[in-house]
Structure formats: structure tokens, C-alpha cells
Amino acid sequence: MESLDQDFQSNNANQLSVTRTMREDWLSTSKWAFFISIVVFIFIGLGFIIALSLTQVINMMQSMSGVENPVLSIMGSMGSALTVFYILVLGLQLVINYFQYRFAQQLKRAVQLTDQDAHEQAWLNFRNFCRINGIMIIVMLVLYIILLGSMGAILTSTMSN
């Protein structure tokens, strides 16, 4: 793994040489990426547990408040849909985090064994992680704007009656 541009047959000035500092930084990056992916896997697991009890929690909140709350009544009627949506979001986050986990494992393997294929696979996984994460963020922002707009419209129509 002396040169990341092995197939590039130009002059030596255009080749990227791997230094000891780069290897140490890549190893440190792989350790942090692995740690963060494990923490996110734990939070996703907790999220699945919360998702399974989401409808019951909403119904309990509605019954505990003595006053009729229009937001809780709307959420109570959409409880199963919210649960399914939340589980889909968690599933997508699981896939995204799996790319980060694979990035960490492949990068560690590439540095420790000086494996060029593992290095390329690591950065491919990182690219997929960033791409899917960016798409998910844009989609979630659009869905939140739509949800806030619809909730606002429902609340204003409820308040006017």
C-alpha cells in the first residue's frame, strides 16, 4: 500500500504516498467510527423497544391529562401509523449505520494488513454512508415540514370550531 494510485501510470509527482502519520490517523479514525457505530446500534435497539410501546404511551398520556388535548388525540388516532413510520426510519438508520460499521472494519483491516482492496472497500462504504445519510436527512426535513404544516392546519381548524 505504498501508493494509492497504483494503476495511475503518470509521473511520480502525481502519486499519493502513504506515510506513517496517515496510517496512524486512519487507524484512529477506524476505532472512532467503530465506537460510534456500536453506540448507534445500541440506540437503534432502544428505539425499536420504544417503537413497540409508542401507541400505549400516547394513549396513557391522553388519559392522564384531564383536559382534552387535540394534539394527543390526533397522535392517538394515528398511533399505529406513527409506530410503522418510526420503525421504518429506524430500519433505514440501521442500514446507514451498517455502512459506517463496515467502513471501520475495512479501514482497520487495510491499515493493519496493508490491504489495498480493503482500503478501497472501506472508502466505498464511507461514500455510501455519506450518500444515504444525506438523502435521508433531506427526505426527513421535507417530511417534517409537511407534518408541521398538516398539524398546523388541523390545529387551526380545530381551534376555529
DSSP assignments along 48-83, one per residue:
HHHHHTHHHHHHHHHHHSSS--HHHHHHHHTHHHHH
H or E stretch including 144?
Answer: helix 116-160
Tell me how crowded residue 4 is: count the other CB atoms within 10 A of its CB.
Answer: 16
Tens-of-pLDDT digits for all 161 residues of the chain?
A: 455 555 545 555 667 788 899 999 999 999 999 999 999 999 999 999 998 888 788 777 777 767 777 777 777 777 788 888 889 989 999 999 999 999 999 999 999 998 999 999 999 999 999 999 999 899 989 999 999 999 899 888 888 86
Residue 7 covered by a domain = no
List the one residue out of 126, 50, 146, 48 whose CA is nearest residue 94.
Answer: 48
Residue 5 covered by a domain = no
Give the number of domains in the chain. Answer: 1
CB 110 within 8 A of CB 116: yes
Residue 90 covered by a domain = yes
* 3-class state of residue 108 by DSSP: helix
Residue 146 covered by a domain = yes
d(CA 70, CA 83): 19
d(CA 84, CA 29): 35
Residue 145 covered by a domain = yes
**pLDDT at site 9:** 52
Cell numbers for 93:
438508520
Which amino acid would we find at residue 18? Answer: V
Find residue 3's DSSP bridge partners: 17
Whole-model pTM: value is 0.72
Residue 95 covered by a domain = yes
Range of the domain at 24: 12-160
